[in-house]
Amino acid sequence: MKVLVATPVMRGELYKRAWLSWYAMDCDEQIDFYQMVGGDKDPMAYNNVVGKYNDARRQMLCGDYDALMTVESDTIVPKDALKRLIAADADVTYGLYVWRHGYPFWTAYTKVRDAEGVSLSSSPELARKLWGKVIKTEGVGNGCTLIRRHVMEAVEFRWSLGEFGCCDWHLSLDCQKLGFTQKHDLGLVCGHIATDPIYRILWPDANAEGLYTTEVVETWEPMKPEGKWLTGVEIVMGGSMKVEILNRFHLGAGEYANPGEVRGVTEEMGKRLIKRGLAKPYKAKKPTKGPKITFDEPEVPEEILEPGWTQKDEDDDCPGCPKKKGKK
């Protein structure tokens, strides 16, 4: 099997411990790695995420790969991650991690609907009973996921403003509609790196009271990609239209737009924001006129001129200087 391991890197954030874990995966299959860093120019962070996922999809399909493994830049995977994903033998197979925003529920969902979902960890007894097993689910987080080629041929990653979740949520929905099997390996335990309010790693743990544990990282060492990797980490771009934000709203991936900010967006996105009352067309303010300032031409004191020179001599010997009125 030929697998493309793709990582959409947001805001240029690469983490050494996560990065090393990907390359440490033990597998007999042919693996190519593809990390998408920079180019985050859309003010809607989720649009940047979806764009990178679809870039990975194109690379996978054009490169004649059998499967796409998505591993997100803040996800630490075990050495046998790819082996376990392949062995589960499903159209889409997921590793297990917990959310880093909000309550750290498990990302294995027994129910995924348009605007509703149920995590397996919301039923602690059932979660503990199934710990370590491979089970059928309705999908969800793409932090460590193997997607077979025939699925990628039929489904694109998608998300639109106002919709629930991001492209992982909609992949789960599309797979349900098309009848693709989705499974979670509850023994493929991944760490999820969080940075707010402190650097830490969240791990699923059936033996813990809340079904997760927190590893606090005292010495933190983020990745510093070199050369062509570092292609830019802009969040805001100068689009074809500028809008002024009226109400604070979530852009996705932990980013917010705040009232008073001016953001460059596409015309389509601008119309959508204005229609929802989140922004208005930006009109640059004209600079206010200040008081008119005039300068009197200074007279050079006679005592600082060379002996034998007068102010008149200074004026006459400066052919490039403008002549005063009355002079020819």
- CATH number for the region 236-281 comes to 3.40.5
Which of 137, 79, 85 is closest to 106 using CA atoms? 137
Which residues fall within 8 angstroms of residue 156, CB to CB, at 6 or more apart?
54, 57
Q: Assess contact for 106 and 47: CB atoms under 8 A.
A: no
What interhelical angle do 167-178 and 45-62 show, nearest 10?
Answer: 50
- Distance in Å from the first CA to the final CA of the chain: 92
Cis peptide before 197 (omega within 30 of 0): yes
pLDDT of residue 255: 58
Say what the pLDDT of residue 171 is. Answer: 96
pLDDT at 16: 86
CATH assignment of 2-216?
Answer: 3.90.550.40
pLDDT, one tens digit for every residue, the chain (328 residues): 999 999 999 877 788 889 999 999 998 889 999 999 888 888 888 888 999 999 999 999 999 899 999 999 999 999 999 999 999 999 999 999 999 988 899 999 999 998 889 999 999 999 999 999 999 999 999 999 999 999 999 999 998 777 778 899 999 999 999 999 999 999 999 999 988 778 889 999 999 999 999 998 765 555 554 433 322 222 233 346 788 888 876 554 455 677 888 877 767 777 877 877 888 888 766 655 555 545 455 554 555 444 554 555 445 555 555 554 444 4
In 3D, which of 38, 36, 47, 13 has the Cα closest to residue 257?
47
Evaluate whether 103 touches 48 at the Cβ level (below 8 Å).
Answer: no
* Structural domain spans, the chain: 2-216, 236-281
Q: What is the pLDDT of residue 258?
A: 79
- Identical fold for domains 2-216 and 236-281, yes or no, is no
